[in-house]
A = this chain, B = another copy of it.
């Protein structure tokens, strides 16, 4: 595997819990900046009820203005209503979410895992009718803020349901940021055994500085896609104690140093990040992010 795919999730996961409001024009500038630095796959927003995540209430407006830009747009949708909005906005890939742990699924989505999976089966079929790609993401794939360590079988139950629906990408999220390389190895090997040619996407929160060690092990076991946010921004508002995302620039630097080329300009990326941080007036949450500039 000489290539990996990078998905920048700054506009969605990076900003959804930001302390200051980021106006839609600044989100557009962010997306343009990411494109300019060479990142084409961007999770731009989530089509959820505005009251759920006020920072993403501008989803339709933002996506409506992406029209002239040439990117591979991804949006999180929790249900059929969200999917319809994403389809109307010509989003190419939708990210669906279900948690491996029952209590996080109820806290995050207000439904049991079984109800969520039944609904997502319908959403996946409808998305495919629209010609969209579907990523089925497993939240709390390692640990849960309420239940602690999540049994492998619970993660596998969600993965099997997604594969049965026919998702195009399988996503694994370390919502709490507690994953270690050995846990990554154990769980990725289990997923490899059932996923056939469906690509795996890894979403890490870099709580203890183990993010790149986890990426490295995931790469060793064949994970094709990595989700990151500029400067390590982000954190799930429904997972108390969760840390920021793995930083986009650190990942680019790390892969590049190993001869795994990504078509990304690090200096341009650092400028986009610095501008964004000046907008949200927030100090960088990741100890890594400070080294680059």
Stretch of A23-31, A73-81, A209-217 lying at the B interface: A209-217
Contact with B along A186-216 (1 / 0, CB 8 A): 0000000000000000000000111011011
Number of A interface residues at 8 Å Cβ cutoff, please give it.
27
Q: Name the prevailing secondary structure of the A interface residues.
A: helix
Bound Cα distance from A259 to B253, whole angstroms: 29
Contact between B287 and A288 (Cβ–Cβ < 8 Å)?
A: yes
From residue A242, how far is it (CB to closest CB) to chain B in Å? 16
Residues of B within 8 A of A258 (CB): 180-183
Residues of B within 8 A of A185 (CB): 220
Residue A257 CB within 8 A of the other chain = yes
**Between-chain CB contacts (< 8 Å), 19 pairs:** A180-B254, A180-B257, A181-B220, A182-B259, A182-B260, A185-B220, A208-B291, A209-B250, A209-B287, A210-B212, A210-B257, A212-B213, A213-B213, A213-B216, A213-B254, A216-B216, A216-B217, A287-B287, A287-B290
